[in-house]
């Protein structure tokens, strides 16, 4: 099936962007580790340097030639910086709709993908912990970060660019660029630094409200700003090839098949769905039905069944503790961990 993309909040239709994509710079060779800082990428950064004069491109950890324009410019996809929440009992949301669940201390919040699809980043604070709740639709990666680096608290926005089809964020303090999938700064003053990922769950709204009846749910500040609940990427997760991706694809699994990732390991979601539970040393993965795909039908609530996953570590005392995990596409895991296999059987 060919994906019938519809126009998000971008200034041009996606079909046009496919023709007009800008490939910036290029020419230097860096490893996939994203850890070594190269002392001058400014020449290779080319157009990036001209468009981002306040970013220090003399420091980088990846080849600027791997950066692709996604269409919108800086903050063209606006982050949510003053999030608004209402009690879960007062939200009108279909039970199958996917939400990112974050629990810190006694506070539980749900961030629906119907909102994050249109904003990608929520800068929030839970208790005394500043967090960034992020979602990249093109790689289906829902990841939560602690926004603190050293003694600094960062606010994040969208660059409008992608690397390996993954969201590239920037921090407003230093204008450094950050890879959403890894949480690592790739250009700028913070190049080589990494954000701490926090355990969260991508699950159905029904699961959230059953587990946290006193929880809160993110709602749009202006419900008319975007067509919230609509999916601008109709048919994307059943298309043949990822959008704006130039890398290799994994063998033995479709590039847009979902995988469950914990650290450097990945299992196909189809395998987990079949077995319902997978145990690997002290890691326990569990699948349950009830969650709609956010990247299938025009209305998210009508998306096909993909189910929800929990990933937990078995502690020495026998208790299960939530692990950092994400459900992403096979091509994404392969792009960032090319030497690691995906377990399919």
Provide the token pair at 87: 């009690």
The token duo for 178 is: 């950050």
User: How far apart (Å, rounded) are the C-alpha atoms in residues 237 and 57?
Assistant: 34
DSSP codes, 309-336: EEEEEE-TTS-EEEPP-EEEEHHHHHHH
C-alpha span between 110 and 106 (Å, rounded): 14
d(CA 119, CA 111): 11
pLDDT in tens, the chain (345 residues): 334 444 343 333 333 333 333 322 333 333 333 456 655 676 567 778 888 999 999 899 999 989 999 988 999 999 999 999 999 999 999 999 999 999 999 999 999 999 999 999 999 999 999 999 999 999 999 999 999 999 999 999 999 999 999 999 999 999 999 999 999 999 999 999 999 999 999 999 999 999 999 999 999 999 999 999 999 999 999 998 999 999 999 999 999 999 999 999 999 999 999 999 999 999 999 999 999 999 999 999 999 999 999 999 999 898 999 999 999 999 999 999 999 999 999
Count of other CB atoms within 10 angstroms of residue 20:
9
Number of alpha carbons in the 13 Å side-chain half-sphere of residue 342: 31
CA dihedral 197, 202, 205, 209 (to 10 degrees): -50
Does the predicted TM-score (pTM) go above 0.75? yes
Tokens representing 132 are 């960034």
- Quick one: pLDDT at residue 36? 63
Give the number of C-alpha atoms closer than 13 A to the C-alpha of residue 25, restricted to the C-beta side. Answer: 25
Handedness of CA 226, 103, 208, 210 (dihedral sign): negative
CA distance 98 to 185: 28
CA 285 to chain centre: 20
| Assigned token pair, 202 | 């991508």
Q: How many Cβ atoms sit within 10 Å of the Cβ of residue 342?
A: 21
| pLDDT at residue 2 in the model | 39
């Amino acid at each position: 099936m060919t994906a019938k993309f519809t126009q998000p909040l971008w200034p041009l239709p996606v079909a046009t962007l496919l023709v007009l994509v800008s490939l910036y710079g290029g020419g230097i060779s860096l490893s996939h580790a994203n850890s070594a800082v190269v002392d001058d990428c400014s020449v290779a950064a080319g157009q990036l340097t001209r468009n981002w004069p306040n970013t220090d491109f003399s420091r980088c950890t990846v080849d600027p030639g791997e950066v692709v324009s996604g269409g919108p410019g800086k903050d063209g996809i606006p982050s949510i910086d003053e999030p608004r929440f209402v009690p879960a009992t007062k939200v009108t949301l279909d039970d199958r709709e996917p939400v990112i669940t974050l629990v810190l201390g006694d506070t539980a919040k749900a961030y629906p993908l119907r909102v994050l699809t249109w904003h990608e980043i929520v800068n929030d604070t839970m208790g005394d912990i500043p967090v960034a709740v992020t979602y990249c639709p093109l790689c289906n990666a829902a990841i939560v970060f602690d926004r603190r680096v050293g003694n600094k608290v960062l606010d994040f926005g969208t660059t409008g660019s992608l690397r390996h089809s993954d969201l590239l964020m920037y921090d407003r303090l230093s204008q450094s660029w950050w890879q959403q999938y890894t949480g690592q700064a790739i250009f700028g003053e913070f190049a080589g630094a990494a954000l701490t990922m926090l355990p969260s769950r991508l699950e159905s709204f029904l699961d959230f409200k059953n587990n946290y009846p006193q929880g809160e749910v993110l709602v749009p500040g202006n419900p008319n700003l975007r067509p919230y609940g609509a999916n601008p990427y109709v048919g994307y997760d059943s298309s043949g090839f990822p959008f704006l991706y130039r890398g290799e694809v994994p063998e033995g699994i479709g590039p847009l098949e979902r995988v469950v990732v914990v650290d450097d390991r990945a299992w196909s979601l189809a395998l987990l769905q079949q077995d319902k539970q997978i145990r690997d040393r002290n890691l326990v993965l569990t699948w349950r039905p009830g969650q709609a795909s956010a990247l299938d039908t025009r209305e998210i609530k009508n998306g096909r069944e993909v189910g929800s996953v929990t990933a937990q570590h078995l502690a020495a005392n026998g208790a299960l503790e939530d692990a950092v995990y994400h459900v992403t596409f096979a091509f994404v895991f392969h792009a960032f961990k090319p030497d690691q296999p995906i377990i399919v059987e």
